[in-house]
Amino acid sequence: MKKTILAVGICALVLAGGSTVKAAEETSSLNTEGKVQFSPVGDNTTGEIHTPDEDGEEGEDPEVIQLPGQGASGKGALRIQFVPNLFFRTEESKAARSVSNANVLKYNLEGETNKSDIAPFVQVSDGRGLTGEAAKWELTVKATPFTATGEDLPEGEHVLTNSTIVFGGSTLTSDYMTSAKAAERITGQEASAKTGLATDGTASVSVMKTQAGKDTNGYQVSNVFHDGYEKGATTYADGNTSGVQFVKPAGIAPYTGIDYTSTLTWTLTSGI
């Protein structure tokens, strides 16, 4: 019954006024907040080694590779992701100066067994989330004298004194970047590394560092010691590369059939 009376009342208003009465328009708004935050990578993070890719593109996930027994990896928000052992090609023993190329590394994609070749390389991962001066870092290396030990050697050892390691080749890479873009953020080895690192245990050379005013936040960057390296395309004659070489000076005749070994120390320094 009430429903019928209400309908009649509305009709009467329309007839009496000649038009309807429109209510005033009202709007109401509320503001809320959006927020996102990212924490630095943990101190115990080890991460994965990625194939250095000189033509990486944004949106493409890098390949995870494995190099068992061929180098070392560190941990932390800023970390050495990979540094290589440097094993050099066997040369004939002679007192004259000799140059020995570095053997390539053998890697396989994660979950696969087929091996591929790559020149020795260094790789750094940065998950600190820093900018400015605090974001700077540098990777250096030094080497002890190449020394052979054995009961048959004079005084039990023989040292290749005044030998050097020459880091002559270089291709810079980064996840999700071309080499040209990577070079805007990092530099390769310094000039003295290309001339030769003295293997005296004290001298050191820089092999990769941030460009002035740049950071590598969120990226994994590499320096492959081979000029013009291309992932999946570069081939290496006799399984070695001239991008890294061991140079024995004249005047020393090495003993044959015995290993001359050195300890390589790679140091990553931040905020320099």
State pLDDT tens for residues 196-238.
999 999 999 999 999 999 999 999 999 999 999 999 899 999 9
pLDDT at 32: 61
Sequence length of the chain is 272
Amino acid 246 reads F
3 pLDDT higher than 50: no
Give the residue-averaged pLDDT of 13-21.
48
In this prediction, residue 227 carries a pLDDT of: 96
Q: Where exactly are the structural domains of the chain?
A: 41-270
Residues near 3 by beta carbon (within 8 Å), at least 6 away in sequence = none
Q: What is the predicted pLDDT for the residue at 190?
A: 97
Q: How much of the chain, in percent, has pLDDT values that exceed 70?
A: 86
Q: C-alpha 19: how far from its chain's center?
A: 76
% the chain with pLDDT above 90: 74
Q: Of 126, 129, 107, 127, whose CA–CA distance to 116 is shortest?
A: 107
CB 226 within 8 Å of CB 169 = yes
